[in-house]
């Protein structure tokens, strides 16, 4: 059985949990990170030298980096609907995944850590406001794209990119500040709620 190392409050762990649900793959989840066991523990560092959750173990092979794991699992199951096998179509999915893990992910960190996790090192009001503005601008980009595609982030079909963008939108909705009115985002969120994986690890999974 697949083993997923990482505590379930982590958005990056949730990506993998949702993917397994989407694919109907049973898994065992083992707590590491956050308030559970520290990722600095040498036992964990043997699994992932960069000391981050999630880590996936599949028949003795170890994988890390959440978006790589999502792609690996979709490819392992031959799910070309989730991860197309033609290079051009695949790149349309991957570009949103790469943007999510690099630029998008960086917009919310300060506001989320300060307002949701209530971390003492993230309480500067100016930096919270700046992070929130950048987060809302990035969500505006997602909304524009959804208006263009009419359904999902990379087109008419649900793909791996919606797992990582969808959980980011869930994070946006978790910030206790007034949000701009973005009907496309609300419709997207409702569309994602049709999926068990999003209900479990997004909508009903806490923050």
Ligand X SMILES: N[C@@H](CCC(=O)N[C@@H](CS)C(=O)NCC(=O)O)C(=O)O
Q: Which residues bind ligand X (CB under 6 A)?
A: 10-12, 33-34, 39, 52-53, 65-67, 101
User: Least distance in Å: CB of 34 to ligand X?
Assistant: 4
Give the residue with the Cβ less far from ligand X, 6 or 184.
Answer: 6
Q: How many residues does the chain have?
A: 207
User: In terms of C-beta density within 10 A (0-12 exposed, 13-18 middle, 19 or more buried), how is residue 173 classed?
Assistant: middle
Query: Is-contact 179 116, C-beta < 8 A?
Result: no
User: Closer CB to ligand X, residue 142 or residue 167?
Assistant: 167
Which residue lies nearer to ligand X by CB, 108 or 158?
108
Neighbours of 116 (CB within 10 A): 15
Closest to ligand X by CB, 66 vs 131, is 66
Least distance (Å) from ligand X to the CB of residue 145? Answer: 21
The least CB distance from residue 171 to ligand X, in Å, is 11
**Shortest Cβ distance from residue 63 to ligand X (Å)?**
10
Give pairs for 137-142: CB < 8 Å, separation 24+: 137/107, 138/103, 138/104, 138/107, 139/169, 139/172, 139/182, 139/185, 140/180, 140/182, 142/168, 142/169, 142/185, 142/188
In the complex, which residue's CB is closest to ligand X?
Answer: 33
Classify strands 27-30 and 55-58 as parallel, antiparallel or unpaired.
Answer: unpaired
Specify the residue, 66 or 159, whose C-beta has the smaller distance to ligand X.
66
Rounded to a whole number of angstroms, the minimum distance from the CB of residue 42 to ligand X is 15
User: In this structure, what is the dihedral angle of CA atoms 123, 128, 129, 132, given to the nearest 10 degrees?
Assistant: -150
């Amino acid at each position: 059985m697949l083993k997923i190392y990482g505590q379930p409050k982590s958005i990056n762990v949730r990506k993998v949990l949702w993917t397994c649900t989407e694919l109907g793959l049973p898994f065992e989840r083992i707590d590491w990170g956050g308030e559970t066991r520290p990722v600095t523990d040498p036992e964990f560092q043997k699994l992932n030298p960069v000391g981050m959750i999630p880590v996936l173990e599949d028949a003795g092979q170890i994988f890390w980096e959440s978006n790589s794991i999502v792609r690996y699992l979709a490819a392992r199951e031959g799910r070309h609907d989730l991860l197309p096998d033609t290079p051009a179509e695949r790149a349309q999915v991957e570009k949103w995944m790469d943007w999510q893990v690099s630029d998008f992910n960086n917009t919310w960190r300060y506001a989320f850590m300060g307002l949701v996790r209530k971390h003492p090192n993230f309480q500067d009001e100016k930096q919270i406001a700046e992070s929130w503005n950048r987060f809302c601008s990035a969500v505006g980009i997602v909304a524009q794209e959804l208006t263009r595609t009419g359904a999902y982030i990379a087109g008419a079909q649900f793909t791996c990119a919606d797992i990582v963008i969808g959980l980011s939108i869930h994070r946006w909705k978790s910030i206790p500040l007034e949000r701009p009115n973005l009907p496309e985002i609300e419709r997207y969120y409702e569309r994602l709620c049709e999926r068990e994986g999003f209900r479990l690890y997004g909508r009903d999974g806490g923050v």
